[in-house]
Amino acid sequence: MNTEKVDVLVIGAGPAGTVAASIVNKAGFSVKIVEKQRFPRFVIGESLLPRCMEALTEAGFVEAVTEKGFQEKYGAKFVKNGMICDYLFADQFTEGWNQTWQVPRAEFDKTLADTVEKMGVPVSYETTVTDIVFNGSDSVTTVEDVQGNPSKIAARFIIDGSGYGRVIPRLFKLDRPSNLPPRKALFAHTVDLKRSLVDEPNRITIVVHKPGVWIWVIPFSNGITSLGFVGNPEFFKQYEGSTEEQLRALIAAEPYLSERFKDVEFVFEPRVLESWSSTTDKFYGDGFVLTGNVTEFLDPVFSSGVTLATVSSQLAAHLVIRTLNGETVDWNKEYMEQMMQGVNTFRSYVMAWYEGTLDTIFFSDRQDPQIKKMICSVLAGYVWDLNNPYVKNHGTALHKLARTIELTELVGKM
Ligand SMILES: Cc1cc2nc3c(=O)[nH]c(=O)nc-3n(C[C@H](O)[C@H](O)[C@H](O)COP(=O)(O)OP(=O)(O)OC[C@H]3O[C@@H](n4cnc5c(N)ncnc54)[C@H](O)[C@@H]3O)c2cc1C
């Protein structure tokens, strides 16, 4: 069997894999991506955050993505019982991007993969990693094509961006359960003919349906809107029948959406995803690094997935380049701790969301404009800005703020 040789093997051609491959390729190393599926392929995760623009810029992808005319996104709107809280990224504490996109991922991911291929990185589609053997930091990876024919790739370093495939954690038993409870999503793409009557397309809408159950509404520029319900698996048990029947019943039960999406056409049979939160012991090892969803995926509510995927890949790519250049890298300090800073900030916000703490803050009519800007920066993905007290003190600041709002409202009523 022939063994192909590269400096860096990247597993997965999603945002994580392509951003990493582009940056390492630009540094002059030979890179190859192996991707299990044929693109375009469906994946969920359509609302991006401004912070990912920095990684997309360094990877050289922004021009190609802009040319596709995806829906521009300027903020996020939260809705509950007729109350509205709008966050506009232009009005944020941290200096940075105030715009990003809402994207059908099949098209977006294909754009990134085609662009990295044009830059000179070969992408082998329908090529699945089945085994990896490490010899120190060098490795030999076995891949299989769709006919099941194996071949081997020798690499000096592996970047695992295999997303839900979790290649290295599964092969080397690094997976650990997440500390978040299991959740379920039921979603579809809809032909959104009544959009203009109800919503601005240039932001996503998050509707609080019931305590712990929420809905995403993500309009695309092609007239399709992504619509998904998320909650604990128990909540969905009261809805019976096909996924289409269940989603139609859920839409009818939500006053904010029922008129707009009544009898709406679904582009595909509504789909279900469950128990997606996962994590691993370590995001790196001798000769490999995990990036994107393989590291830790929390929850869809604040659209953190693609941002964490691209930012982790951007950072990892630079550390891989330094390693290949013979420099010593402190992976724990320079990678794991950095990434956990961002992940843990989002984790505090996800937990505060499901507890209802963020409801208290978002829907108060006493929001302090300066604090709103600080929270807006987190919602824009600037979760590494330690000058922002709502990043630095993410574990306590939201609870303190909600308590203050509750007390002020109580006093106001007396
Ligand atoms: C319900 C839900 C809603 C979400 N909504 C959002 C959102 O609005 N915004 C957001 O940013 N994120 C969202 N996410 C998260 C988002 O889906 C992921 O974070 C994002 O896709 C991660 O990108 P990635 O590049 O790490 O992985 P992926 O995009 O999953 O790419 C990984 C690639 O690796 C390939 N692969 C897998 N196994 C192998 C193998 N053995 N060999 C070769 N290739 C392999 C796969 O085919 C795939 O193409 C959501 C997640 C869920 C569950």
**CA 97 to ligand 1 center in whole angstroms:** 23
The pLDDT confidence band at residue 74, using thresholds 50, 70 and 90, is very high
* CB-facing half-sphere around the CA of 344: CA atoms within 13 A: 14
SS3 276: coil
Closest CA to 35 of 134, 121, 138: 121
Which residues are within 8 A (CB) of 276 and not within 5 positions of it... i.e. 6 or more apart? 164, 183, 297, 299
Task: Give percent above pLDDT 90 in the chain.
Answer: 90
The helix or strand, by DSSP H or E, that contains position 406, with its residue range, turns out to be: helix 397-413
Summarize the confidence of residues 54-62 as an average pLDDT: 98
Cβ contact 79:231 at 8 Å: no
Lowest mean pLDDT among 66-80, 178-192, 197-211: 197-211
Mean pLDDT of 87-96: 97
pLDDT for 412: 76
Q: How high is the pLDDT of residue 1?
A: 74
Tell me the average pLDDT across 120-132: 98
For the segment 199-216, what is each residue's pLDDT rounded down to a tens digit?
678 999 999 999 999 999
Mean pLDDT of 398-408: 94
Query: Rounded to two decimals, what is the model's pTM?
Result: 0.97
Q: How confident is the model at residue 197 (pLDDT cuts 50, 70, 90)?
A: low
Assess whether pLDDT exceeds 90 at residue 178: no
Mean pLDDT score, 72-97: 96
Q: What is the pLDDT of residues 223-268, one digit of tens each?
A: 999 999 999 999 999 999 999 999 999 999 999 999 999 999 999 9
Which residue's entry shows tokens 């920095």?
Answer: 54
Q: Which residues pair with 71 in a beta bridge?
A: 102
Q: Return the pLDDT at 199.
A: 65
- Asked whether the beta carbons of 27 and 322 are under 8 A apart, the reply is no
pLDDT at 76 over 90: yes
Between 278 and 75, residue with greater pLDDT:
75
Which among 258, 212, 255, 200 is positioned nearest to 76, based on CA atoms? 200
Is the peptide bond prior to 150 cis by the omega test (within 30 degrees of 0)? no
**CB of residue 104 inside a 6 A radius of ligand 1:** no
pLDDT at res. 202:
93
Q: Quick one: which atom of ligand 1 is closest to the CA of 163?
A: 27
Residue 73 confidence (pLDDT): 97
Report residue 363 CA to chain centroid gap.
Answer: 25
Checking if the pLDDT of 356 tops 90, the result is yes
N residues, the chain = 414
Question: How many C-beta atoms lie closer than 10 Å to residue 344's C-beta?
Answer: 15
What radius of gyration do the chain's Cα atoms show? 22
Residue 48 reports pLDDT greater than 80: yes
Residue range 373-389: average pLDDT? Answer: 98
Q: Is the CB of 129 under 6 A from ligand 1?
A: yes
Tell me the H-state helices in 226-283.
233-236, 243-252, 255-261
Which residue's alpha carbon is nearest to atom 1 within ligand 1? 185
- Choose among 26, 17, 19: nearest CA to 54: 19
Question: Alpha helices, DSSP H only, in 8-155?
Answer: 15-26, 52-59, 62-67, 105-118
Q: What is the mean pLDDT of residues 279-291?
A: 94
Report which protein residue has its CA nearest ligand 1's atom 17. 45
Question: For residue range 11-31, what is the model confidence (pLDDT) as tens digits?
Answer: 999 999 999 999 999 999 999
Which whole number is the average pLDDT over 70-96?
96
Q: Which residues contact 130 (CB under 8 A, 6 or more apart)?
A: 142, 143, 144, 150
Does the pLDDT of residue 198 top 70, yes or no?
A: no
Does 215 contact ligand 1 (Cβ within 6 A)? no
Taking 80 as the threshold, does the pLDDT of residue 276 lie above it? no
Q: What is the pLDDT of residues 316-335, one digit of tens each?
A: 999 999 999 999 999 999 99
- C-alpha 109 – ligand 1 centre gap (Å): 10
Angstrom distance (rounded) from CA 393 to CA 245 = 44
Rounded average pLDDT over 113-140: 98
Is the pLDDT at 277 greater than 80? The verdict is no
Any atom of ligand 1 within 6 Å of the Cβ of 201: no
